[in-house]
Structure 1
C-alpha cells in the first residue's frame, strides 16, 4: 500500500467516486475528497497532502483561482482536470501553480499513471548521487537548494517551491554550468510517459526565475542559451547572451 496522501477536488461526485475507487485499487489508501474549493483548503490545512487532483470548474470558483491559495499552504503536486484544451488554458494552469493536467473525458488509469510517474521521479531524484556535493546542499550565493530538507532558500529565507518546479531546479543544481536542452529537461524531469510539451519547460523556467532571480526578466543565474537550451551558472563563471 502507498501512504502518499492524495486529495481529489471535484464537484461531480461520480468522478470523485470513480477516481477514489481506482486509486484504492492501485494501492493508494490515504485519500481525501472535497467538492468545493473551500472544503479543499480546509483539508489541506489539516492534513499533509502531497498530491492534489484539482478540477478547473468548481461551484465556488475556478481551480485556476484556487491554485495560488493552495500554493500558500503546500508545495504538493497539483494535477488539473480540465475540459479546456487550448494552449492558453494549459499554460494558465501551469502559471497559477499547477504541475500537470489531464483533459476530460479521461481514463482514470491515466490519472493513476501520472501520479505513479510523479512518485517515481521524486524517488529517483531523492536517491540520485549528488556528485557536486556530499551534503545535498547546493549553494549558488543568492539562493540555496537543500535537497535533504526539501527547501529553497533565497536571501536567507525559505520560499515556497511547488514539487515540479523544485524537481526542475534540483536537476539544474545537479548539472551546473551545463547547457540543457528542453528535450533533455522534459525527459529527465517529466519523463517519457509525460504528455507535456516545450511550453511546459518555458513556463517552469519562468517560475524558477521568479523565485531565484533579482530581476526575472534579466536572469543572472538561470540563463537562456539561444538555440540550445538553458544553463544554471555556478561559481565565478560569467555569461553574456
Structure 2
C-alpha cells in the first residue's frame, strides 16, 4: 500500500473517479464531502496526504487548510477549478504544498501524490536509537536538522513542511546563493517552469515567521535579479 489519502471533494463524480484511480495505484482512500466532515475524519484517522477542493459546503477549503496547518505538516495538494493566480497564491500561502487545477490528468495525479508523500516521508523524525542532534544556530534562530525543530530565542516556530525544507536548504549551504529555479528543484524535486509565484509566496510566509522585520529580512537575504542567500550576522 502506498499510503492513506484523505480526499475532500463534494463533486460525487470527480470523487469517485479519483478514488477508483488512486485505489488502483495502491492507495487507501478516505472521502469527505464537506469541510466539517473532513475535519472530523482527519481528527480520527492517520493520513499521509490530503487532496483538497477549495469550493466546499459548510466549511470552505481555505478555512479547512488553515485549521489543519495549525496542527499538522501533512502534505496537502489543492484540487480546484479556481485556477487563478490569486487563489493559487492564497492556497500556497496558507500552507498547501502544491496546486493542481481542474481538469487534471489522472495519469499525472498519482505521480504528484506519490512525490509529495515521498518528500514528506524523507523528513519524518528518525527513531530514538537513530536520532542525532545536529543543531545549526544563526544569531537567534536555531534548527535541529535531524528532528526538524526550529526555534527563535528558545521559542519553537510552527513551520510548514515546505518552509522547513527551504530553511534547511539555506542552513546547510550558508555561503551559497540560490536562484528560484534551484530552490524549486531542490525543495519540490520537480522541473521548474518559471512559476515564480510559488517561491515568492513560500518565501514571504517563511520570512513572516523567522524575521524580526519581514520587509527588511536578515536571515534570508534577497540578491535582486539573482536569488537568495543566508544572511551574515
Q: Tell me the TM-score normalized by structure 2.
A: 0.87
1:183 maps to what in 2?
181
CA–CA distance in 2 between the matches of 1:166 and 1:115? 19
2:225 maps to what in 1?
227
1:170 maps to what in 2?
168
Task: Report the CA distance shift for 1:17/1:112 in structure 2 as closer, same or farther (over 3 A).
Answer: same
Deviation at 1:141, TM superposition (A): 3.4
Contact 1:71 1:162 in 2 (8 A): yes
Map of 1:187-198 to 2, 5 A cutoff? 187-193=185-191, 197-198=195-196
Contact 1:224 1:231 in 2 (8 A): yes
CA–CA distance in 1 between the matches of 2:12 and 2:194? 28
Map of 1:40-189 to 2, 5 A cutoff? 40-122=38-120, 135-189=133-187
Contact 2:181 2:192 in 1 (8 A): no
Which runs of no fewer than 5 residues in structure 1 stay unpaired? 127-133
Contact 1:142 1:212 in 2 (8 A): no
Deviation at 1:216, TM superposition (A): 1.1
CA RMSD of aligned residues (A): 2.3
Q: Tell me the TM-score normalized by structure 1.
A: 0.84
Matched residue count: 227
Instruction: For residue 5 of structure 1, give the secondary structure of its aligned residue in structure 2.
Output: strand
CA–CA distance in 2 between the matches of 1:99 and 1:195? 16
1:209 maps to what in 2?
207
Deviation at 1:27, TM superposition (A): 2.1
Deviation at 1:86, TM superposition (A): 1.8
Contact 2:180 2:227 in 1 (8 A): yes
CA–CA distance in 2 between the matches of 1:195 and 1:124? 24
Give the counterpart of 1:33 among 31, 34, 37: 31
Deviation at 1:194, TM superposition (A): 6.3
Which runs of no fewer than 5 residues in structure 2 stay unpaired? 125-131
